[in-house]
Structure 1
């Protein structure tokens, strides 16, 4: 028999004769209760993770800004490109109805361009402004800085394309008249 197997079996008497090992300093023997604990323990304060709803709000606002602004700009450009009258319209052959068709088409095109401009302003300026206000209200400094930079970028780029007075006149004309 191998020595490993030969020595692994001990009788009950051998087990009872063994004395417990001396305890280390600061440790108590098993089965006994210490009179006074040698170490003082203070609970560790673990910071709670940020609320997932707030993170979902930031992600939603970033997606709205990052995808909504180019899509609204594309809608504005496509509405501007769709200003032509269909030359195959049979009502254009009659001089009396041709003016009505052109006026109707012009009104429809101006409404589409105005709606696209409003959506562009909502996505490019409104969403980052809302994100900045929410971040400031929730005391999230980095989110407020990020949305503030996005707002400044959107405002700067849009005002480079169109002067503020032209944007204002277009919005007023679309909303009120």
Structure 2
């Protein structure tokens, strides 16, 4: 995920979120060493995590080779299904919107990336945020609903996604 949450943000994704991106094969490898350094500063530790934090961002293969072990140092495993990975990512997106840190359009764009990266898996499309994918066709057109109405639908889907996380926790 290269646009997390915005290109000028200093937001550091959690190890759980990066694990979800790894499952979807959408990790921004060049940013992972910096994130690993932040995870170390937040109290996670382990040989693989320290190694990852010290890697040069120019070699994505090295980053990807050690990422799973570094995530294990954070007591995190990579989700074993697209639906589980998307659920983690969608919760993060919904929280960002609820905190007014991103726009509805940003959420819609990121959902589209996750759905695409999952090869349109039913387990992803069945999630509350997975169901907003079709709104992309309407956004910014003269034939679709007004953007404000689409934004409300995205807000509602985010609320449903967050409610789903509370019932499955």
Instruction: Work out which of the two has the higher radius of gyration on C-alpha atoms and give 1 or 2.
Output: 1
TM-score using structure 2 length: 0.27
TM-score using structure 1 length: 0.26
